[in-house]
Every structure is written in C-alpha cells, then in structure tokens.
Amino acid sequence: MRRVAVIDIGTVTARLAVADVEGARVVRLAKNSTICNLGEGVAETGRLAQAAMERVFVCVGAYVESARAAGAEVVACTLTSAARDASNSPDLGQALASLGLEPLVIPGEIEGALTFLGVAQDFLGQRILVADNGGGSTELACGTLDGSMLDLTFVRSTNVGCRRLTELFLSRTDPPSTADVAEAHAFAARLFSSVVSEGGLHCGGKGAPATLVVTGGTSTSLVAIRDELVPTMQAVHLATLSADDVIGLEGRLAALTEEGRRALPGLQEKRASVILGGTIAVSELMTQTGFPSLIVSESDLLFGLSTAALTLQGQPSPVVLEAGAALADVDLAHGGVAELAYAADLKSATERIVGSSPTAPTMYLLGFLVVTCN
C-alpha cells in the first residue's frame, strides 16, 4: 500500500485528497475542499483574475504542506476547465511549480475518464453514465469497469458548468429573470442534446447505460439542501435525486436572491452565487438523457487521479483496455511524465475514446494509465 496526495484545481473549488492505494484500488481517502473561484470572470474575459490566482496559490501551498505532513510519497496536481480556457494559465502554472509541483492542465476527455474510474469503483461490472458537473464544464463518460478490465466507450466534455451558466446568463438581475433562466436552459439543452445523441446515451436506448451517476458540488449541495444537512461525504455519497427533486429545487433557488440562497440550510455560502446555474445544468442533463433519477457520487476525479499518480511515477499499469491488450510498458520521460509507445491497439483505443486522432502533448490519464501522444 502506498500513500499519495492529489490536488485538483477546478473552476470553483480547489481540492486535496490524501489516499492509500493498493494495487488498482483506493483503500482509504481523505478529502479537503476550498472554494477559490479560479474561474471568476473567465467566461467573459478569457483570463484568470490575479486575485483568483492568488487565492489558489495560497490554498494549494497549504495543501502541499498537509500532504507532506501526512507522509504522501507522490503529489500530483491537475487543473481543469478554467485553466483550459484562460490565456494566462501558464502564469498560475509557474507559481504552482515554485511549490514543487508539476501542474498538468488536462483535457476535458481526460478529466471525464479519471472521474469515471473513480466513480466506477462503486459500480463494478455495471454499464453507467458518469457526469462530472463542474464550474466550467460537464464531462460525460460511459462504460464499464470490471476488476482491471476497462471498457470506456465514450467520453466527451461540454462547456456547461455552474459558473459558466451564471456568468453568461444568470448575473443580469438578482434574482435572475424567467427569461434569463430559460436562456440558460436552452444553452445547456443544445450542448447536452448533441453529445447525448452522438454517444447513444439516452436512457432506454439500445446499448445505453443503465444508471446515471453525477459528481460535483452542485449534486452534493442539492442533496444537502433537500435534506437540510451538512454536506459531508458520508451524508451525500450514493444518495438519489429524482428529476422532480431537481425541478423543485431549481424553482426554490430561482425565486431567491443570492443573499437568500446563502441562508439555505445545507448550502455553503460561497456556492450561493453558482448553485442555480449548476442546478439548471443537472436538470437539463436529466431531461436530455431521459433518466428519471440520478445517483450522487463522491468517488470522483480525485479517486481516479490517486491511482493515476502512481503511474506518473513509473508504476506499471494494471488496466487492460481491451481483451489481451495489457498496456504496461511505461518509461519515464519529460520530468516525470510517463510516455507509452504507440501500439496499434492503444492508438485504436485512444481514438475510440477521444473521437479523433490524439494530438501532442495530450495526456490520456485513464486512471491507472498515462499516455503522452507523440
């Protein structure tokens, strides 16, 4: 068993997980989450605000100290939607590197694949659709994890996120107008419907997933608001939300000012500004996929990244993407980033997952597998 620490810097939150990993499975994991709002203003300006970068730097500095104090032998750091969109992300990357990290801005498809690997550990052998509903994007990943056999048939990233919807449509008045809420719905519906159709993800369709599982701060907050509880991992993990629950909660949130949302039991005050946008995203996801209910998961990107972190340090990958295709020839290069030779079966697998020929230097961090495409 090895102890690793992983840091994920998203559009709204920066999160730390310290995990004990044995083989291909996370045995124990402790998480810490801080709302830093890195993506504040990015949808409008295309740049990370200086104040937002400073908030993240201070937070991550404390995370690094905590990870080392906990005895973690590996510390990995990823950045997602806001960093992908912003033109000045390298400035934040340089600052994080001064903390001894090797920050990786990962593509949305890799974010989705890592999240799938975390979530699927609770649904072994089941064909599921995993939605990682974040601040700037929502990743959709469909497949099955059965032991070390990974059948990940579809992964896409869409630009539907709680902060993006808030900044584009829901910040004109407080509370937002009915027209603005409808505009946010239409935006999310258009993007989700295209991906759902492409991936054959509609509930009840031939070969469609049997279960919708959603991760992210919006879904956990909705459970906490509905049940009026503190949103701890134990309280919300594997809870169920019906479509009627989500519609009802959206109506409540849309009628409140931001200040009114701050007073809601179960909702973190700093999430009050974006919770309506996130709820609209979840609602449209359920509408477009046709699922009458969803399961909330806390076994998210951090779980998948915890196992991937060992591969980043040169540990062989135990995952088999296709029958008879063990992908384990890992060679360290480029300052600790793993490189995997292009076998024909690997190229086929990555093209199937991403939907087109991979381009350098995209990293296919499939949980236990790291691929840097040449």
Tally the C-alpha atoms within 13 A of residue 14's C-alpha that lie toward its C-beta: 24
Q: Which helix (H) or strand (E) holds 298?
A: none
What's the domain count of the chain? Answer: 1
Q: Is residue 327 part of a domain?
A: no
Nearest-Å Rg of the Cα atoms of the chain is 19
Band (pLDDT 50/70/90 cuts) for residue 37 is very high
Q: Is residue 88 part of a domain?
A: no
Provide CB contacts within 8 A for 267, sequence distance 6+. 221, 224, 225, 261, 275
Band (pLDDT 50/70/90 cuts) for residue 315 is low
Domain hosting 225: range is: 110-296
Q: Is residue 292 part of a domain?
A: yes
Give me the CATH number covering residue 236.
Answer: 3.30.420.150
The pTM of the full predicted model, rounded to 2 decimals, is 0.82
DSSP state, 174?
A: S
Q: Is residue 173 part of a domain?
A: yes
Q: Is residue 334 part of a domain?
A: no
The yes-or-no verdict on residue 291 having pLDDT over 80 is yes
Q: Is residue 286 part of a domain?
A: yes
Q: Is residue 367 part of a domain?
A: no
Q: Is residue 155 part of a domain?
A: yes
Distance CA 89, CA 102 (A): 14
- Return the pLDDT at 23: 65
Band (pLDDT 50/70/90 cuts) for residue 295 is very high
- Return the pLDDT at 10: 92
